[in-house]
Chains A and B, each alone.
Chain A
Amino acid sequence: MRRTLKALVFFAGLLLAWEAVCLARIWSPVLVPSPVSVGRYLWEAANDGTLGSATVVTLRRLVLGYCFGLAIGLPLGLLTARFKVVGDTLGLLALGLQTLPSVCWVPLALLWFGQTEAAMFFVVVMGTIWSVIIATENGVKNVPPIYARAARTMGSSGLHTWLRVLLPAALPFIVGGMKQGWAFAWRSLMAAEIYVTILSGFGLGHLLHYGRELNAMEQVIGIMLVLLLIGLIADKVLFSPWERFLHRRWGTAK
């Protein structure tokens, strides 16, 4: 409770400082809108439904692509760790593509798929998949061999060892990779949404883009705040429970 209070005081202080700067009229209100005007924009956008529908469109793209990327990346990561030939081929490819900033997929996706949902989906999947493969491979390769040996003496072998020993043992790495994949996917989706207009749905990135076109700074900042909030909530809701689980089991942190 005290931690929440401290956080609240901190953010309230930030808002006050922001308001104070605006009241001091150092910069034009067109460039630095006051928190009140940003709040008003968000309120109106929420009421007329644009904010809600844009959030739904963006999150749907993100979640679909991310889940698909995970579903493909995890097994591929396991194969990469298991078979030397896959590691030397796909593993190397994944390592290379992981270093590629995921926004670089956008031009390719547009040429291949046009201005469609498929292009967005593709970009998010490409953002997710390589980090997940690399993290899973890394995680499995870092499992102490003694776990597998102990499991073998107890009658575990083959798929059982993979699912019941190597996969859980690699979990700290895998969760790290999932988090990184999420971050990459989120960034590349935003880049794509700002970059291209897709008629099947206007996401938060489009709102940001139009904010710039219309010189509506309160819209730009308002949407940025929403994006920040989504990132924060995703972290707390999606990853914090995993991390707490890991810390509790592995005893890695308080």
Chain B
Amino acid sequence: MTLQTEVQNEASSKLSVQHVSKTFRSRARVVHALDDVSLDVGEGEFVCLVGPSGCGKSTLLNIIAGLDLADGGRVLTDGAPVAAPGRDRMMMFQESALFPWLDVLSNVLFGLKLKPGLDAGERRKVAEFYLKLVGLEKFHRAFVHELSGGMKQRVALARALAPNPRALLMDEPFAALDALTREQLYGDLQRIWQERKKTIVFVTHNVREACCLGDRVVLFSPHPGRIREEFKIDLPRPRDINSVDLARYSTRITAALKNYARPESGAELVEVAE
């Protein structure tokens, strides 16, 4: 297998969430994290899930990833039901979750080593390819604690891209970064998305971020977690988070978000562990 065939774009996947419900029970309380949620994500589409904390958006992402199981309903990727994590769906978290005992290159290699059909030389070439894609080709031998927050998330992105998944699931990956770093990553992520043609589901509570990145923004409301409204973002790419056109969308969506987030009478405000 050559580097060319290995890093060739895989067909991006179609995700279908059908009537998914999820309840968390602890001794103290019962939380309806998701209540009959259905969502279709097209091939190569960039969808952002937005909502206040406790609306179940991260739970939904975990279910799509196969890390959590739904109580009811199902998730299909290209028609096949999801029962466990799979290499076709890679996940990125708010914390980089990079392994401190490995250097940057070995972190990216971790997932590749679990992918059958590649020899050591090929794996290395693939890892280098993705580190270059995220602009970190000079940091192969660096250790995780030597990287800035933005660089860590770049490595995490390279690590998620390396096994060539068909979908990328991102759980507030930029939430802990400073504004300037975040803006750079918005640009990079849009470029990489267009180059690599992945289906992306991106969870955030930052409406502007969602409008900047998504083809579509899906609005959740909490207690129980439900989808309330969807917005199509018709703006040319690459988008600048500071543009006026984008602000118009985000103002509208923020207004809607505030409306839905208003607690219903008697509804208890409980935080769901995301």
**In chain B between 78 and 102, which residues have their CB closer than 8 angstroms to a CB of chain A?**
85-87, 89-91, 93, 95, 97, 99-102
Cβ of B187 < 8 Å from any Cβ of A? no
CB<8 Å pairs between A and B, sample of 19: A144-B95, A144-B97, A146-B97, A147-B97, A149-B67, A152-B67, A152-B85, A153-B65, A153-B67, A153-B85, A153-B89, A154-B87, A154-B90, A154-B114, A155-B115, A156-B114, A165-B99, A249-B100, A251-B146
Q: Are A155 and B85 in contact (CB under 8 A)?
A: yes
What is the minimal beta-carbon distance from B147 to any residue of chain A, in angstroms? 10
Q: Are B114 and A169 in contact (CB under 8 A)?
A: no
Q: Are B93 and A146 in contact (CB under 8 A)?
A: yes
**How many A residues are at the interface, by size bracket?**
20 to 34
**In chain B between 46 and 66, which residues have their CB closer than 8 angstroms to a CB of chain A?**
65-66
| Chain A neighbourhood of B85, CB < 8 A | 152-153, 155
| Chain A neighbourhood of B114, CB < 8 A | 154-156, 160
Q: Which of A147, A153, A248 contacts B99 (CB 8 A)?
A: A147
Knowing A153-B85, A250-B145, A251-B143 touch, does A168 contact B99 (C-beta < 8 A)? yes
Q: Are A150 and B115 in contact (CB under 8 A)?
A: no
Q: Which of B67, B100, B111, B143 contacts A155 (CB 8 A)?
A: B111
What is the minimal beta-carbon distance from B92 to any residue of chain A, in angstroms? 9
| Chain B neighbourhood of A147, CB < 8 A | 97, 99
Knowing A146-B95, A149-B67 touch, does A155 contact B101 (C-beta < 8 A)? no
Closest to A152 in B: B85
**In chain A between 127 and 159, which residues have their CB closer than 8 angstroms to a CB of chain B?**
144, 146-147, 149-156
Q: Are B97 and A149 in contact (CB under 8 A)?
A: yes
What is the minimal beta-carbon distance from A153 to any residue of chain B, in angstroms? 4
Cβ of B163 < 8 Å from any Cβ of A? yes
Closest to B115 in A: A155
Q: Which of B67, B91, B101 contacts A169 (CB 8 A)?
A: B101
> Sorted from nearest, which 5 A-B pairs have the closest CB atoms?
A251-B145, A154-B111, A150-B97, A155-B114, A168-B101
- A150-B91, A153-B67, A155-B115 known; 7 new pairs, CB 8 Å cut-off, are A144-B97, A149-B91, A154-B87, A155-B85, A168-B99, A168-B101, A250-B145
| Chain A neighbourhood of B231, CB < 8 A | none
What is the minimal beta-carbon distance from A142 to any residue of chain B, in angstroms? 13
Knowing A153-B65, A156-B114 touch, does A250 contact B97 (C-beta < 8 A)? no
What is the minimal beta-carbon distance from A170 to any residue of chain B, in angstroms? 10
| Chain B neighbourhood of A151, CB < 8 A | 110
**In chain B between 107 and 146, which residues have their CB closer than 8 angstroms to a CB of chain A?**
110-111, 114-115, 143-146
Q: A residues bordering B, Cβ < 8 Å?
A: 144, 146-147, 149-156, 160, 164-165, 168-169, 171, 248-251
A169 to B163, CA, bound (A): 23
Q: Are B99 and A154 in contact (CB under 8 A)?
A: no
A150 to B85, CA, bound (A): 10
Q: Which of A144, A155, A251 contacts B87 (CB 8 A)?
A: A155
Closest to B67 in A: A149
Knowing A153-B67, A153-B85 touch, does A248 contact B97 (C-beta < 8 A)? no
Q: Which of B66, B101, B159 contacts A249 (CB 8 A)?
A: B101
What is the minimal beta-carbon distance from A49 to any residue of chain B, in angstroms? 45
- Over the window 160-197 of chain B, the binary record of Cβ atoms lying under 8 Å from chain A Cβ atoms (1 yes, 0 no) is 00010000000000000000000000000000000000
A156 to B91, CA, bound (A): 13
| Chain A neighbourhood of B111, CB < 8 A | 154-155
A168 to B110, CA, bound (A): 13
A89 to B159, CA, bound (A): 39
What is the minimal beta-carbon distance from B236 to any residue of chain A, in angstroms? 32
A250 to B97, CA, bound (A): 13
